[in-house]
Amino acid sequence: MKFRKAGIAAASVLTLALTVSACGDGGKKDKGDSGSTGGSDKGTIKIGIKYDQPGIGQKTPDGFAGFDVDVATFVAKELGYAEDKIEFVETPSADRETAISRGDVKFIAASYSINDEREQKVDFAGPYLLAHQDLLVAADSDIAEGTDLNGKNLCSVSGSTSAQNVKKTIAPKANLKELSTYSECIAGLASGSVDALTTDDSILAGYASQEQYKGKFKLAGLKLSNENYGIGLKEGDTKLKDQINKALEKMVADGAWEEAVKKNFGPAGYKNEPAPKIGDIVK
């Protein structure tokens, strides 16, 4: 009788052990299935970009175009995602940190300057481009220095720190016109109602490179600030950060970075800085 009870107990222990073992194997398998960096269970990756910045990130009837789009696409491919597995998500400047923290996107490449305030909320890979605040003027303009703007019409978007920087440092008597979009400013520059447009030189070069404006504008080359463009990602995701940095280094080494610069900014005569070294933030 005692022997029979012992046999039943042993069988129960064996059954429990097999059940635990099966659950453990299943858990490992599930972890492996969902552990691909940068994507989702559907095999796609969501990347935040700008939709309205020609030369940087723009949604067009033919798809998406711009330097940031080229950088993001190269990085995604290095992470294992073909172009048809990339989903670009519009991320306006004010929404970038929120989009990352919510998990709406895996990373963001959207003229995203690295600074101390943003680094408190997200991590950055890169930088992948060093831009500068500058002026865009008519091709035949005699505006060579910022002081030439005193008494003339300076345009930027509403709330722009770039415009305030110009007025504070080099042209306090410039007539500031704040419009809703850079497109409105550049239309004013084309018509002559605006003498200069200010923001990052990369953004200015992108607008000036549009087909209808080729040859009509030039950059003043003032370098009024240093803007280190980085790829924003979730804070603490060191694995993804390292993978993106390696991809950026490869893009430079392969010559794809320089090719993207010429393609997106070249028509405006943009004199770009050399590709920055990873982690080298120019203050």
**Phi, psi of 186, rounded to the nearest 5 degrees:** -70, -30
What is the average pLDDT score of the chain? 86
Domain shared by 251 and 192, yes or no: no
**CATH code for the domain of 171:** 3.40.190.10
pTM across the whole model: 0.81
Domain shared by 57 and 189, yes or no: no
Pick the last residue of a domain from 219, 248, 276.
219
153 falls within a domain: yes
**Is residue 201 scored above 60 in pLDDT?**
yes
How much of the chain exceeds pLDDT 70, in percent?
85
Please report the pLDDT score of residue 42 as a whole number: 52
**Sign of dihedral through CA atoms 236, 238, 239, 245?**
positive
Please report the pLDDT score of residue 25 as a whole number: 43
4 falls within a domain: no
Question: What does 111-135 look like in DSSP terms, one character per residue?
Answer: S-B--HHHHTT-EEEEEEEEE-EEE
Nearest Cα to Cα of residue 68 among 42, 92, 47? 47
128 falls within a domain: yes
Cα–Cα distance, 116 to 217 (Å, whole number): 34
70 falls within a domain: yes
28 falls within a domain: no
**Is residue 145 scored above 90 in pLDDT?**
no
Domain around 209? 133-219
Give 100's pLDDT tier (boundaries 50, 70, 90): very high
Based on the structure, what is the number of domains in the chain? 2
Local structure of residue 56 (DSSP, 8 states): T
Two structure tokens written together for 137: 């003027």
116 falls within a domain: yes
Question: What does 144-174 look like in DSSP terms, one character per residue?
Answer: -SGGGGTTSEEEEETT-HHHHHHHHHT-TT-
Q: What mean pLDDT comes out for the span 175-182? A: 92
H/E element, 187: helix 182-191
